[in-house]
């Protein structure tokens, strides 16, 4: 089930971030995003009452920028990431978003495949965006 993220989900999101990325945006950042930032839109993928993935966007006017996106490694390659992202694209279209942007590591071919499948295109490269690795900026134009 995909649903809006709640404050009670933060512990599980941080744990997943540390597991997948070896770092986290942090509890205080996520708390602020979920309770104070009117531009934030976060969703979780819950299976059997366990959060197995999440995605976050900030929406400004007609543009959305992805903050973070992950699926528990035990559930990757099952189409759940594609399902979660497609759900969010639909939600963003309801908010009249016309452009969605994100950054992805140049080495993260698995994520790039998901983004490409859903219509994202490489806009440009940001040198050393991830400390010692370049990042691609991907953009998707949507019909709002």
Question: Active-site positions?
Answer: 103, 115
Burial 80-109 (b: 16+ CB within 10 A, else e): bbeebbeebbebbeeeebeebebebeeeee
Provide the H-helix boundaries in the chain: 10-21, 27-35, 80-94, 109-117
**DSSP 8-state secondary structure symbol assigned to residue 54:** E
């Amino acid at each position: 089930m995909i649903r809006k993220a709640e404050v009670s989900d933060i512990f599980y999101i941080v744990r997943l971030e540390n597991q997948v990325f070896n770092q986290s945006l942090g509890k205080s950042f996520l708390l602020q995003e979920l309770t104070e930032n009117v531009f934030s839109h976060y969703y979780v993928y819950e299976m059997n009452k366990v959060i197995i993935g999440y995605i976050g966007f900030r929406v400004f006017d007609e543009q959305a920028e992805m903050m973070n996106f992950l699926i528990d490694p035990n559930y990757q390659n099952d189409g759940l990431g594609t399902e979660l992202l497609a759900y969010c694209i639909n939600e963003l279209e309801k908010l009249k978003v016309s452009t969605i942007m994100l950054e992805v590591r140049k080495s993260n071919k698995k994520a790039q495949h998901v983004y490409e499948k859903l219509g994202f295109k490489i806009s440009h490269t940001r040198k050393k965006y991830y400390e010692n690795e370049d990042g691609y900026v991907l953009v998707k134009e949507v019909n709002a």
